[in-house]
Structure 1
Amino acid sequence: MRILLPILFLFSFVSCSSVTTKDVDYQVGEQNFKGYMALNGSADDKRPGIVVVHEWWGHNDYARKRADQLADLGYNAIALDMYGDGKTAEHPKDAMKFSKQAFSNPKLLKAKFNAAVELLKKQESVDPERIGAIGYCFGGAVVLFNATQGADLKAVVSFHGSLGGIKTVKKGSTAKLLVINGADDPLVSKEDIKSFKNVIRDSKLSMKFVNLPGATHAFTNPAATEKGKKFNLPLAYNEKADKESWEMMREFLQNTL
């Protein structure tokens, strides 16, 4: 697959004294993608880069907010676009359709993720040797898949991510993993957890797996409870679990990047 070098059209503004944000357009093959960067650093003060992968709803304000928060912690972040053209879903049927399509072509899925990684590495404030990734729900599955398939990542954090699709670990994969799951999440079965843990154990990758009591699916997203009620889905925000998981991530990235 041919991956074209990103062509950027940047609309930048300063959100605080040390963070610059900008929208970025880039391409994979012939398809256009719309991402968002929050950068903290300079050519003389290169800092780690973090890729943020959105939920199955697509590249939305929530993913961009997380990129901003990472920049506030001192990182450079890109909230990527896995669906193309910044496409988002308003209904679970569309979200399921988009996410299934993304995983139906693993080669393309990796290419779309790697395009964002390479774009992030090219920023003058980024240390290209210190790249990590975080993902939510669908995004958690995306970052875990790429981490176990040899992506150039030092650290990966999955928040309430799907685990059932991780069947093998490619030789040479070295990313350290932090997997934060809701203990009451019915969308992640005990069988999926057991199988996933066995795969990672056999690969000898470094992993910390955390089950947060009382947390169900999408526990980090303040909009989850309303969407859960609207569509009769087991989604609910849990403020305590959100804060605890973010602090776990902060410590993990600090120790690995």
Structure 2
Amino acid sequence: MTQAIQTREIQYTAADGSSLIGYFAAPENSQAVAGVIVAPEWWGRNEYTEQRARELADHGYAALAIDMYGDKRVTTDAKQAYEWMMQTFGDAETIDTRSKAALATLAAQPEVDTTRLAAIGFCYGGKVVLDLARSGADLKAVATFHATLSPKAPAQVGAVKAEILVLHGELDTMVSLDDVASFKDEMFAAQAEHDVIVFEDAKHGFSNPLADERAKANDVDLGYNAEAEQHSLAAMYALLARHLD
């Protein structure tokens, strides 16, 4: 599927005063379409996140690759990424306020149908969109790739409006299968619609073709898996089609 798309950067401000810069991609047409937030890995809003936004636009969605660190800061250094990520954990409301500002910014774009919103996230960004869903955000669907699954606060009954799809690697040493089991328990207790797919022989970062390079440079346990990437993206697009099309 290939169609003409448009892209632009959008500057927005969160309730905590941070100046954030998103990357927006949408089909070139006048009809409002469903909108999807794309939350980045801990590296920041980099080319990989923007690529995923363009792919969503190519599939007929409007997508906003969001900035969680401010001023679209990015890095390829794991220590710097960890520092920036932990800064957003320092105040319990930071992730909440910045993700909600991004969702409001997406919904405010004229290309977006505000009744059809979803969110996807990778690694750290997976936690961002899961916590957004847990907070009761008006989302139809949420998909995560090799995400951090632990909640800021467990989801409550009736709070989660989205169907949640978790895409996880069997060999992920950063998020264990016990963590996956705990997530399932949380979702069942909250009566939230959810599904988990575990990919054999897949490590943390399996969806990113640069994972092996980043692993070697930073001595961290990441690994790209083309088959898991392909199947996880297909599952995500099937989820979006069910709820947004």
Q: Same fold (TM over 0.5)?
A: yes
Whether 2:133 is the aligned partner of 1:147: answer yes
Q: Which moved more, 1:88-97 or 1:59-68?
A: 88-97
Q: For residue 239 of structure 1, what is the aligned residue in structure 2?
A: 226
- CA distance in 2 between counterparts of 1:46 and 1:18 reads 15
1:234 Cα deviation from its structure 2 partner: 1.0
Q: Residue 194 of structure 1: which of 181, 188, 198 is its match?
A: 181
Q: Is the 8 A contact 2:76 2:214 kept in 1?
A: no
1:97 Cα deviation from its structure 2 partner: 1.2
**Which amino acid in the other structure matches residue 94 of structure 1?**
Q
CA gap 1:189/1:215 in 2 versus in 1, 3 angstroms: same
- CA distance in 1 between counterparts of 2:11 and 2:56 reads 21
Q: For residue 54 of structure 1, what is the aligned residue in structure 2?
A: 40
1:17 Cα deviation from its structure 2 partner: 5.3
**Which amino acid in the other structure matches residue 175 of structure 2?**
V
| 4+ residue runs over 6 A deviation | none
User: Which whole-Å deviations, capped at 9, do the CAs of 1:196-237 have from their partners, x for residues lacking one?
Assistant: 110001111100100000110000101100111122211111
Q: For residue 198 of structure 2, what is the aligned residue in structure 1?
A: 211
CA gap 1:186/1:40 in 2 versus in 1, 3 angstroms: same
Q: Which moved more, 1:186-195 or 1:125-134?
A: 186-195
Q: Residue 35 of structure 1: which of 17, 22, 35 is its match?
A: 22
Q: For residue 56 of structure 2, what is the aligned residue in structure 1?
A: 70
Q: For residue 124 of structure 1, what is the aligned residue in structure 2?
A: 110
- CA distance in 1 between counterparts of 2:178 and 2:159 reads 26
1:53 Cα deviation from its structure 2 partner: 0.3
**Which amino acid in the other structure matches residue 78 of structure 2?**
P
Q: Is the 8 A contact 1:41 1:74 kept in 2?
A: no
1:165 Cα deviation from its structure 2 partner: 3.1
Secondary structure of 1:74's aligned partner: coil
Greater RCO (CA < 8 Å, at least 6 residues apart): 2
**Which amino acid in the other structure matches residue 117 of structure 1?**
L
Q: For residue 87 of structure 2, what is the aligned residue in structure 1?
A: 101
**Which amino acid in the other structure matches residue 178 of structure 1?**
L
Whether 2:67 is the aligned partner of 1:81: answer yes
Secondary structure of 2:130's aligned partner: helix
Secondary structure of 2:93's aligned partner: helix
Whether 2:183 is the aligned partner of 1:177: answer no
Percent identity between the aligned chains?
35
Gaps of 5+ in 2: none
**Which amino acid in the other structure matches residue 220 of structure 1?**
S
User: Which whole-Å deviations, capped at 9, do the CAs of 1:149-183 have from their partners, x for residues lacking one?
Assistant: 11121100000001123651144321110000001
Q: For residue 149 of structure 2, what is the aligned residue in structure 1?
A: 163
Q: Residue 248 of structure 1: which of 231, 235, 242 is its match?
A: 235
1:47 Cα deviation from its structure 2 partner: 1.0
CA gap 1:175/1:41 in 2 versus in 1, 3 angstroms: farther
> Given the two structures, how large is their TM-score scaled by the length of structure 1?
0.90
CA gap 1:151/1:103 in 2 versus in 1, 3 angstroms: farther
Q: Which moved more, 1:154-163 or 1:19-28?
A: 19-28
Q: Is the 8 A contact 1:41 1:47 kept in 2?
A: no
Q: Is the 8 A contact 1:49 1:132 kept in 2?
A: yes
Q: Aligned pairs, how many? A: 241
